[in-house]
Amino acid sequence: MTRKGKRLTLIIGALAVLGVAAGLVLFALRDNIVFFYTPSELTQKQVAPGARLRIGGLVKEGSVVKSGKDVTFAVTDRTKDLDVAYTGLLPDLFREGQGVVVDGVLQADGRFKADSVLAKHDERYMPKDVADKLKAQGVWQGEKK
């Protein structure tokens, strides 16, 4: 085999190994690639307690209860609700009926213990994934101009 043939074989082999490695990584992370889950998706997926994940949706009207730095509220996608417990300061723009994404751990009792709460940016902004999922359910109509 010539030098050129050996080099070509080596390059093709390296690309094949790289492709297989990338495929294995994507296969292993297929469930974790999603930025967040809605409460309905979380119910369908039946995630085991103790799993770290992100939940996105709207803060349910009338669900916010504050006690010092402890806050409980429900995140809803208007189909299912998920109770969330959070200790700390909430973003200034956090309020009922607005979009949020919470990061934390699912507890054994079905509640979600949040480590961080991200509120919507301004009166027109909603995270694209939240807006798309709410639009797909026919709940969110978009911005009013």
CA distance 61 to 17: 52
CA distance 125 to 10: 50
End-to-end CA distance of the chain: 70
pLDDT digits (tens, 9 = 90+) for 12-64: 999 999 999 999 888 877 655 557 888 888 888 878 888 888 898 899 999 99
CA dihedral defined by 46, 52, 57, 62, rounded to 10 degrees? 90
Rounded distance, CA 52 to CA 135, Å? 26
C-alpha R_g of the chain: 21
pLDDT band at 145 (very low <50, low <70, confident <90, very high): very low
Tens digit of each residue's pLDDT (9 = 90 or more) over 121-131? 654 556 677 77
Q: Is the pTM of this model over 0.75?
A: no
> Residue 130 belongs to what H/E stretch?
helix 128-136
